[in-house]
Amino acid sequence: YPEVFFMNSDNVFIGESTIQPTTLINAENGPVIIEDGVLIQGQSYLEGPLYIGTKSVIKSHSHIKHSVIGPKCKIGGEVNTVIIQGFTNKVHDGYLGNAFLGEWINLGAGTINSNLKNNYTQVTVQINGKNVNTKSLHIGCFLGDYVKTAIGTTINTGTVIGPAAMIVTDGFPPKTIRPFTWYVNGKHRIVLFDKFLETTQHVKERRGQNLTKIEISLLKNIRNSR
């Protein structure tokens, strides 16, 4: 890899992938594993421990460390200590830290999350209607499958957003948003299931995928139990 810079190269494992010049891969604090078909665009900084799944794309000027990125994701900006499952897009600049993202999520440009409270107290997360103390200072957000955020979305510490929710707001959304909720500037609407399936099928076709009957049944159960 000409003009690609390695720190502790013995701890870097790369499949049949493209690493563009001026990329820096730092494996001094843990391994960096890059699967087949990955594209790392130039001037990116990757720090281990880090795993990047098959056919994912890391955009130019990205700063990514201590994370797991699933297959066929498109990732840009700053990502620190995050699990991102397959087919999820965070293409643009913006910070994402100490978070979990499901599949088929799309974060609009400038979406950022907070992972540390200003008063440095432990973060609470709402689970099944109850506030749970995580006993951690650093907790970001938890986003279910198919979540979409508008440009400029800001997400608070310990926020939980259910599957298929859509967020459009000029301030922090609530720290808990139920599945299939269209949240627009303080107002909640239920996402129309047929419209959701239509959009989701279109999104999947762009990646050579299709909604299966099992997926539709599972999503319908989630929708009906919200």
- Beta-carbon count within 10 A of 37 CB: 16
Closest of 214, 219, 224 to residue 104, by C-alpha: 219
pLDDT tens-place values along the chain, 226 residues long:
999 999 999 999 999 999 999 999 999 999 999 999 999 999 999 999 999 999 999 999 999 999 999 999 999 999 999 999 999 999 999 999 999 999 999 999 999 999 999 999 999 999 988 999 999 999 999 999 999 999 999 999 999 999 999 999 989 999 999 999 999 999 999 999 999 999 999 999 999 999 999 999 999 999 999 8
Q: Rounded to the nearest 5°, which phi and psi values hold at 128?
A: 55, 40
> What is the domain count for the chain?
1
Note whether residue 159 is domain-resident.
no
In a domain, 13, yes or no: yes
Residue 72: its pLDDT value, please? 98
Task: Say if 55 falls within a structural domain.
Answer: yes
- Structural domain boundaries enclosing 37: 1-76
Please indicate, yes or no, if residue 208 is contained in any of the structural domains: no
- Cβ atoms of residues 7 and 27 within 8 Å: yes
Q: What is the pTM of this model?
A: 0.95
Residue 226: what pLDDT? 83
Q: What is d(CA 2, CA 162) in angstroms, rounded to the nearest whole number? A: 44
